[in-house]
Structure 1
Amino acid sequence: MTLIAGRDSVCQGALGAVTLVGMGMGSMVPFAVSALAPLVIAEFGWSRTRYGSLITLTFGVGMLLSISAGKYADSSQGPRSLLYLLLASATTALFVLSSGTSYAVMAVGAAVGGAAMSLANPSTNKLISAFGAPKQTGLLIGIKQSGVQVGTFLSGVILPPLATLFGWRVSLRIAGAIPLICAFMVVLVVPSRWPSMRSSQSARRPVGIWWLMGYAYLMGGGLSAATYYLPLYAHERLGFANSTAGIFLSAVGVMRIASRVLAGHYANRIHDESWLLISFSGIAAVAQVLVWLAETSGAAFLWAGSLLLGTSAVAWNAVVMLVVVRRTGFGSAGHATGLVSLAFYGGLIIGPTLFGVIVDRTNSYGTGWFVATLHFVAALVVVLVNRHSRVSVG
């Protein structure tokens, strides 16, 4: 049975489920590492910086392998083997991490997790390009992009209680079994071969992708700074308790899931997605200013800014991936996705590091939030420049 190969609602629903799982499993490792940080640090006596470097390593490997993973997705013989490699990488990473007795072993697990991450976007975009009904492409992209947030939520909700009961190693092994279970779903619903390509879907070089890469890098840099430092900012400057910060993060997470699904669905109904991207970066800049003002104006500004960030600085990803699938076609969807992912992961790595250095040296969050705001404004300018160049050429 190859359920996702059809164009009816049941088949398209199965395709959405498969791609959501692919994104969730591909991004599970860094979020699992983050969720279990207190227990692992307590056992090994590591500094926060050293433990955090495992997450940086995962994103770094994901960035370095993005282009190769994209090309592999385009040259693979079938979707089933592509997903098997993704799921096997995730499982291997989690089991290696669970058996870690030193930093070196943990680093190997984190690196393998980066390989899984590099495959997530190219493989799922390729699946949607091959089997997605054109009218459902945007919704499918939104659903599959929300897989990252679903994986984050589940890692934070499930792994810490399991670690408390059975230890962090057992909790990681339980998590490592999830991709294996998902592999059975792949057998049931995913074809072993790609469909025959139509002439309009033939491989073509990803042209005009550079502005998307610039946009992804800038939005990733601004978003990652806000994501990693908002809880600490809320605690240190606004006096949030840890429990309140948890509720705060959960609310933002729910907004992120909903915004990606809705953004993809809406973007599929319009011809020119650039205005949507301009809106997202503009709203993100305003939201970042609200977060900045919260230190002197109160917690209401933090809540408003954070929720706006959850609907803007995250939703753009679904729209960009829709543009990639629309503009490149089946033959090069993987390669183009790899290029955009390379830029995005670069922003995710550099953004928090730059923010942390600025805050430490100036002893002020305000300067850091200002730089994050500049990222969003620069992303807006990138889209405007691309629009102007297209009009000039036309």
Structure 2
Amino acid sequence: MKGLLYVLNGKLAANPKLKLFNPLLAQTISAFGVLTLPPLSSFIVQDLKLSTFLMGFIMASFYLGCIIFSFFTGNIINFLGIQKSIVLSLIIIGFFIMLGSLTHSTWIMLFLLAIAGMGYSLINPAINLLITQDFPMEVRGFVMSVKQMGVTLGGVLTALLLPKLAFLFSWRISLFIGGALVMCFSLYFLHILKDYPANSSNNAGVNHFNSIKIFFKNSRLFRLSILSFFFVGAQFSYFMYLVLFLNLDLKYSVAVSSVLLALSQASGAIGRVIWGAASDRAGDKRKILTVIGILSSCSLLFLSLSPFMSVPFVVMVLLTILLGFTVSGWNGIYQAAIIEYGGEQSAAVSSGVSLTFTYLGIFLFPLFFGWTKDTFSSFSISWILVSVCLVISTFIIHKETKLPSSKIDKYAG
């Protein structure tokens, strides 16, 4: 509620730079880029005759580049500045998606999309640093959740737009247009974000590696990062494979499956704001993360049983909406907690290092999910395994030993 009141009382509305809008737009456009493949997965599988595992590998290839590059993004952002980092990120994402749509080699496509992922690794820490400059600590759970709405909004746009373009033309043309749109929006940020200079001090490299060392000594940061590995794995497994699951196991058409994906993404966008406001009110963000984990786990268990039951379509609609609301509602809370536990001075580095765990989860979980589906010839076991991982991850953050206040102050900068 504090975050919502902060927006409504005019402090943001009076700002011509649209402080709340810019992080949301940047996240939406970048997410649109990296989520271009899931709604096109049925077209790609049929055209290229791919296994579920290999399709998962292609969808996750964005995050292979993220994993490789994330440890160094904080230093790069401190050197380039927020504006140049965001602009460069969108250009790299869009350009290499366009190139990927032109190749007929699966492995070349994987390579090009991995480079696009290197661009994506820049944007989250850059947006987080933008938020630390523009918003006070007491509303950052809300603001981070609004920003993270962009991930689900980007997914909604890809689910609504790209399958229609694929039906009209081809999946390659649809993918090319998606990349071109991402590149076009880099011009907006080139024009609008001009008040955020680079931090190119001589000690930037030393501070960067010192911040990485401190990150791994901070128990709360490290455990939150492990949680993000499991939570993001569940989130992306769900969104990446939902269309294939509905189409192959439940025999829904691609068009209907895409609509359910869009509904799920839209409910996730709403959920992020509500969960973010709840975390600001609760104070301890771990409580809200635990609630999200339990609700998501139970919903995934029910989803795993749906092929063996006669589930009415209305119930499936409600289930996908609930899953979107829960399984993607955690990210803004987690990123706000990372900045809170790591300190504002090392926000870009803490976010970059922590997101390495997140990207690793995004990369590995879809591969594991696709492998289990191919092995057991059913999505149900895959959903159950993901559900178990969510439960385990909530225990991880509650078993930590609290740090003495003196050490917390030291880690905070």
Q: TM-score range by the shorter chain?
A: 0.7 to 0.9
1:17 shift after superposition: 2.1
Task: Map 1:303-318; keep pairs closer than 5 Å.
Answer: 303-318=317-332
The match for 1:335 is 349
1:77 shift after superposition: 4.4
| Residue aligned with 2:188, SS | helix
Shift of the 133–9 alpha-carbon distance from structure 1 to 2, 3 Å rule, reads farther
Alignment partner of 1:372 out of 371, 376, 386:
386
1:264 shift after superposition: 1.9
The 10-residue stretch of structure 1 (126-135 or 46-55) with the greater mean CA deviation from structure 2? 46-55
TM-score (norm 1): 0.84
Q: Is the 8 A contact 1:289 1:305 kept in 2?
A: no
Residue 255 of structure 2 is aligned to residue 252 of structure 1 = no
The match for 1:131 is 134
The match for 1:278 is 290
The match for 2:7 is none
| Residue aligned with 1:370, SS | helix
Give the whole-Å Cα distance in 2 for the aligned partners of 1:183 and 1:233. Answer: 34
Give the whole-Å Cα distance in 2 for the aligned partners of 1:357 and 1:393. Answer: 45
Q: Is the 8 A contact 2:33 2:97 kept in 1?
A: yes
Instruction: Report Cα offsets for 1:178-222 as digits up to 9, x if no partner.
Output: 3443233224432343499xxxxx996433311111111111223
The 10-residue stretch of structure 1 (312-321 or 217-226) with the greater mean CA deviation from structure 2? 217-226
The match for 1:326 is 340
| Residue aligned with 2:63, SS | helix
Shift of the 156–295 alpha-carbon distance from structure 1 to 2, 3 Å rule, reads closer
Alignment partner of 2:371 out of 357, 370, 389:
357
The match for 1:242 is 254
1:252 shift after superposition: 1.1
Task: Map 1:88-237; keep pairs closer than 5 Å.
Answer: 88-103=91-106, 105-165=108-168, 168-194=171-197, 205-206=214-215, 207=218, 208-237=220-249
Instruction: Report Cα offsets for 1:55-96 as digits up to 9, x if no partner.
Output: 2321211122122223322x2242111112212212321332
Alignment partner of 2:86 out of 71, 83, 87:
83
The 10-residue stretch of structure 1 (212-221 or 295-304) with the greater mean CA deviation from structure 2? 295-304
Match for 2:393: what amino acid? A
Give the whole-Å Cα distance in 2 for the aligned partners of 1:157 and 1:87. Answer: 21
1:119 shift after superposition: 1.4
Q: Is the 8 A contact 1:98 1:169 kept in 2?
A: yes
Q: Is the 8 A contact 1:36 1:159 kept in 2?
A: yes
Structure 1: segments with no counterpart, 5+ residues: 1-5, 197-201
Shift of the 228–7 alpha-carbon distance from structure 1 to 2, 3 Å rule, reads same
The 10-residue stretch of structure 1 (93-102 or 285-294) with the greater mean CA deviation from structure 2? 93-102
| Residue aligned with 2:281, SS | coil
The match for 1:382 is 396
Give the whole-Å Cα distance in 1 for the aligned partners of 2:257 and 2:380. Answer: 20
Q: Is the 8 A contact 2:52 2:371 kept in 1?
A: no
The match for 1:264 is 276
Shift of the 233–331 alpha-carbon distance from structure 1 to 2, 3 Å rule, reads same
Shift of the 383–111 alpha-carbon distance from structure 1 to 2, 3 Å rule, reads same
Give the whole-Å Cα distance in 1 for the aligned partners of 2:379 and 2:38. Answer: 23
1:169 shift after superposition: 5.0
Instruction: Report Cα offsets for 1:203-243 as digits up to 9, x if no partner.
Output: 96433311111111111223333333444444444443434
Task: Map 1:15-30; keep pairs closer than 5 Å.
Answer: 15-30=19-34
Instruction: Report Cα offsets for 1:274-318 as digits up to 9, x if no partner.
Output: 111111111112212222333344325644543332122210111
Instruction: Report Cα offsets for 1:110-147 as digits up to 9, x if no partner.
Output: 12211122112111111101122444423321121111
Structure 2: segments with no counterpart, 5+ residues: 1-9, 200-206, 407-413
TM-score (norm 2): 0.80
Seq. identity, %: 19
Residue 290 of structure 2 is aligned to residue 287 of structure 1 = no
| Residue aligned with 2:35, SS | helix
Instruction: Report Cα offsets for 1:353-374 as digits up to 9, x if no partner.
Output: 3233334434454433331221
The 10-residue stretch of structure 1 (235-244 or 88-97) with the greater mean CA deviation from structure 2? 235-244
| Residue aligned with 1:209, SS | helix
Q: Is the 8 A contact 1:7 1:132 kept in 2?
A: no
| Residue aligned with 2:19, SS | helix
Shift of the 384–12 alpha-carbon distance from structure 1 to 2, 3 Å rule, reads farther
| Residue aligned with 1:345, SS | helix
Match for 1:114: what amino acid? G
Shift of the 13–156 alpha-carbon distance from structure 1 to 2, 3 Å rule, reads farther
Match for 2:20: what amino acid? G
| Residue aligned with 1:15, SS | coil
| Residue aligned with 2:186, SS | helix
The match for 1:199 is none
Shift of the 186–361 alpha-carbon distance from structure 1 to 2, 3 Å rule, reads closer
Match for 1:28: what amino acid? F
Instruction: Report Cα offsets for 1:20-79 as digits up to 9, x if no partner.
Output: 222233333342234445656676666665554332321211122122223322x22421
Q: Is the 8 A contact 2:225 2:358 kept in 1?
A: yes
| Residue aligned with 2:36, SS | helix
Q: Is the 8 A contact 2:142 2:277 kept in 1?
A: yes
Number of residue pairs aligned between Structure 1 and Structure 2: 381
Give the whole-Å Cα distance in 1 for the aligned partners of 2:186 and 2:67. Answer: 25
1:244 shift after superposition: 3.1
1:258 shift after superposition: 0.6
